[in-house]
């Protein structure tokens, strides 16, 4: 069953106009006469009309509301919405899946980190090297000496404010708290001892922080 009505016969018989309906002379001359009558007397009216008005589209009056809205849109910068910490946890963005625990897949990243540390420590003495290490990204080989993870070693794959997450050679992810932990790092001929209690910062915050010498207690 056809749900559409048939086209009426009178519509079918209507001839399509080849040309638009012609305008009378009064309509054609109205715009020109109106513009010429409002131009200053000391101007060449015919020349001004032919160059500025004839065959051109003129906006006689703008919509004030739409103009104000468009100006506000131009002034407001685009706001990039960031994902909240709660949403990140719900989406499990930073979770390390056990299925991805493959030590060999992280070794190329460790080689890049070794090159990065080599450039960072090139030409440095012991004092300058220690300051460079404090601001470095710890994506390299670390040894944990905290009470519950003594002897653990591997490649650090993620750092948070309070923990270091690394993968061991037996393809397991291990999360080590910085608090009450001592780490040892060897790279480019240097051996560094890192005290976790003094590294309780995010990597981005630590890169810009000015560290001062502080006393420490042996664990």
Name the burial class of residue 188, with classes exposed (0-12), middle (13-18) and buried (19+) by CB atoms within 10 angstroms of its CB.
middle
Query: pLDDT tens-digit profile of 143-181?
Result: 455 666 777 888 888 888 888 888 888 888 888 888 878
Q: Which two tokens stand for residue 104?
A: 């060999």
Q: Determine contact, residues 142/192, Cβ cutoff 8 Å.
A: no
Pairing assessment for the beta strands 153-159 and 141-144 based on DSSP bridges: antiparallel
Q: State how far the Cα of 13 lies from the Cα of 18, in Å rounded to an integer.
A: 15
pLDDT band at 142 (very low <50, low <70, confident <90, very high): very low
Name the H helices within the chain. Answer: 9-13, 25-38, 45-52, 64-75, 85-91, 103-121, 126-134, 203-208
Query: pLDDT tens-digit profile of 112-139?
Result: 888 888 887 776 665 566 665 655 555 4
Q: Which residue did the predictor score with more confidence, 16 or 35?
A: 35
Domains and CATH numbers, the chain: 22-61 (no CATH), 99-208 (2.30.30.210)
Global pTM reads 0.50
Would residue 151 be called left, alpha or beta, if left means φ above 0 and alpha means ψ between -120 and 50 degrees? Answer: left
pLDDT at 100: 81
Return the half-sphere exposure (C-beta side, CA atoms, 13 A cut-off) of residue 207: 7
Question: What's the alpha-carbon Rg for the chain, to the nearest Å?
Answer: 38
Burial 27-65 (b: 16+ CB within 10 A, else e): eeeeeeeebeeeeeeeeeeeeebeeeeeeeeeeeeeeee
């Amino acid at each position: 069953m056809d749900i559409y009505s048939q086209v009426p016969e009178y519509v079918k018989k209507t001839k399509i106009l080849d040309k638009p309906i012609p305008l009378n002379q009064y309509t054609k001359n109205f715009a020109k006469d109106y513009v010429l009558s409002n131009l200053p007397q000391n101007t060449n009216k015919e020349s001004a009309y032919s160059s500025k008005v004839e065959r051109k589209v003129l906006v006689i009056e703008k919509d004030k509301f739409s103009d104000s809205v468009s100006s506000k849109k131009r002034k407001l910068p685009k706001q990039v919405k960031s994902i909240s910490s709660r949403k990140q946890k719900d989406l499990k963005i930073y979770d390390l899946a056990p299925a991805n625990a493959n030590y060999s897949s992280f070794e190329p990243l460790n080689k890049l980190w070794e090159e990065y540390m080599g450039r960072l420590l090139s030409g440095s003495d012991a004092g300058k090297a220690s300051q460079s290490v404090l601001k470095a990204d710890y994506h390299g080989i670390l040894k944990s000496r905290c009470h519950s993870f003594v002897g653990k070693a591997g490649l650090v794959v993620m750092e948070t404010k309070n923990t270091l997450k690394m993968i061991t050679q037996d393809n397991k992810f291990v999360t080590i708290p910085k608090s009450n932990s001592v780490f040892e790092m060897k790279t480019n001929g240097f051996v560094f001892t890192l005290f976790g209690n003094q590294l309780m910062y995010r990597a981005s915050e630590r890169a810009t922080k000015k560290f001062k010498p502080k006393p420490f207690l042996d664990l």
